Amino acid sequence: MEESALYRMIFKRKSFHLFRDTGEGGITAEEIREIERTYASLTPLCPDIKTALRVVPAEKTTCRRGQEYCILLYSEKKDDYLQNIGYLGEQLDLYLVSKNIGTLWFGIGRPEEEKVCGLEFVIMIAIAKIGDETKFRRDMFKSRRRTAEEIWTGTRMDPMAEIVRFAPSSCNTQPWRVVCGADGLEVYRCREAGRRGIMPAGKVSFYNQIDMGIFLCFLELCLEKNGVEYRRSLFTDDGGDVPRTLDAVYRFG
């Protein structure tokens, strides 16, 4: 799926915390095969990290949100493997929205299979067919998010600074911060004391690293939409519980 099509889905997607009154019909076997094919075609953040995907019926997981299936994401453990899963998973998330399949990143769910092909389970995405398109987001800007001024400092790159803040994150923690200069961007994972929702304190860094991969996906779709050429450098995030960790730098031109 082209980046421009994924970009358009940013404005439509929402997190279905409960799948209710989703309409007639369901996800077909062919759609499941297409999900698997699409995942295999996605561009990873870290090409040297092996990952795998499984699509399983809802009852084969502990997730009970009214979904039909869960997409299980597995990975080998290497530097930045959590960001990589977030980056891949968000591309898939936006693809699913284009097919009128509702999604929910579900961090606390567990599958029956904790390992696949030697790869460890990381996170799942709950999914269900949405028969009524009005169930999706109709006005993204009414969603509760930090302001652009809170997450973005330095040179404003509107409308990008307004759009990237709508990336989904664990318990809406929105751990990203961007510092923008004339020649590029620095992207940080930030930890705010006391801001973790229902996440166990020991899991905040784990899920927020996945969130950073999701954010980088949004950021790059926005850069490409606006015709900004860039070179990306990734920095190893060891998950330390510190106020600010540099995750990526984007140089323009």
Domains of the chain: 3-135 (3.40.109.10), 144-252 (3.40.109.30)
Q: Is the dihedral of CA 41, 43, 48, 54 positive or negative?
A: negative
If pLDDT is split at 50, 70 and 90, which confidence band does 38 have? Answer: very high
How crowded is residue 56: how many other Cβ atoms within 10 Å of its Cβ? 16
Q: Which residues contact 97 (CB under 8 A, 6 or more apart)?
A: 9, 12, 13, 103, 136
Sheet holding 184-190, edge to edge: 152-154, 176-181, 184-190, 244-252, 230-234
Task: Answer whether residue 193 shows pLDDT above 80.
Answer: no
Please report, to the nearest 10 degrees, the dihedral formed by the alpha carbons of residues 28, 34, 40, 41 taken in order: -150
Task: List, in sequence order, every residue forming a beta bridge with 178; answer none if it has no partner.
Answer: 152, 187
Q: What's residue 194's pLDDT?
A: 61
Question: Tokens 């973790």 sit at which residue?
Answer: 196
Is omega for the bond preceding 159 within 30 degrees of 0, making it cis? Answer: yes
Task: List, in sequence order, every residue forming a beta bridge with 53; answer none if it has no partner.
Answer: 73
In this structure, are residues 177 and 246 in contact, taking their beta carbons and an 8 Å threshold?
no
- Taking the C-alpha atoms of residue 99 and residue 89, their distance in angstroms, rounded to an integer, is 15
Question: Can you tell me the mean pLDDT for 37-49?
Answer: 97
Task: List, in sequence order, every residue forming a beta bridge with 102; answer none if it has no partner.
Answer: 128
Six token digits for residue 64: 């009970």
If pLDDT is split at 50, 70 and 90, which confidence band does 196 have? Answer: low
Task: Answer whether residue 202 shows pLDDT above 90.
Answer: no
Give the 3-state DSSP-derived string for 62-89, with helices as H, strands as E and coil as C: CCCCCCCEEEEEEECCCCCHHHHHHHHH
Question: Can you tell me the mean pLDDT for 20-41?
Answer: 94
Which has the closest alpha carbon to 46: 216, 224, 241, 222? Answer: 216
Q: Determine the residue type at 66.
A: G
- Taking the C-alpha atoms of residue 87 and residue 72, their distance in angstroms, rounded to an integer, is 15
In this structure, are residues 133 and 9 in contact, taking their beta carbons and an 8 Å threshold?
no
pTM over 0.85: yes
- Taking the C-alpha atoms of residue 219 and residue 241, their distance in angstroms, rounded to an integer, is 24
- Taking the C-alpha atoms of residue 78 and residue 84, their distance in angstroms, rounded to an integer, is 10
If pLDDT is split at 50, 70 and 90, which confidence band does 195 have? Answer: low
Please provide the average confidence, as pLDDT, over all residues in the chain.
Answer: 94
Segment (H or E) for 222: helix 204-225
If pLDDT is split at 50, 70 and 90, which confidence band does 199 have? Answer: low
Q: Which residues contact 66 (CB under 8 A, 6 or more apart)?
A: 18, 19, 20, 22, 128
